[in-house]
Amino acid sequence: MPDKSSCKGNWIESLPLTLATLGAAGRMPKAPGTWGSLVAAIIAPFLFLPLPIWGRIVVLLLLFPLGSWCAGLAEKSLCCKDPSCVVVDELWGQWITLLPLAASDTLWIIPAFVFFRLFDITKPWPVRASEHWLPGGWGIMIDDGLAGLYAMMALLLCRALF
């Protein structure tokens, strides 16, 4: 029977990787980034959108360093630069896209998801270049933040037109 203290240590050591991959979302065999964004979109009405705008901003400001730290540890643990299983950056970018929505705007989550995936996959300037602005997990996170800003602007334009 394993020693309980060693099990605790393993759990604590694996927590950053679990957060970086959003559990099973980043471990899906195909399109882990899309799965990560989908998880972010599904949980947003329960964990993100009910917060007041200042609360959402605080969450995003805290999520950036936490996600960067977890993503950086995952890079080291997996011996791979920007591993595809790391999807905490998709959570951050998707929630940036959703920032201006009200809790009752749940139908707008669908176009927000589509816009974020579009900008995250195509990586228009300066999204792709931003991956190299910061080292390690910081670089993993920053491009999704910029893709989220592009997607938020597209979402706001779409809402203004319709």
pLDDT, tens only, 115-157: 999 999 999 999 888 888 888 899 999 999 999 999 999 999 9
pTM value is 0.90
**DSSP state, residue 97:** H
What's the confidence (pLDDT) of residue 11? 65
Going by C-alpha positions, the residue among 154, 156, 141, 122 that lies closest to residue 60 is 141
Reading the block at residue 40, the tokens are 């972010």
Does 76 have pLDDT greater than 60?
yes
Average pLDDT over residues 39-65: 97
- Residue 45 CA: distances (Å) to CA of 108, 113, 116, 155: 11, 13, 17, 17
Pick the range with the lowest mean pLDDT from 38-52, 84-98, 127-141.
127-141
Going by C-alpha positions, the residue among 154, 147, 155 that lies closest to residue 34 is 147
Largest CA distance in the chain: 63
CB atoms inside a 10 Å sphere around CB 2: 7
Q: With 0-12 CB in 10 A as exposed, 13-18 as middle and 19+ as buried, what is 40?
A: buried
What's the confidence (pLDDT) of residue 81? 86
Q: How confident is the model at residue 56 (pLDDT cuts 50, 70, 90)?
A: very high
What's the confidence (pLDDT) of residue 2? 41
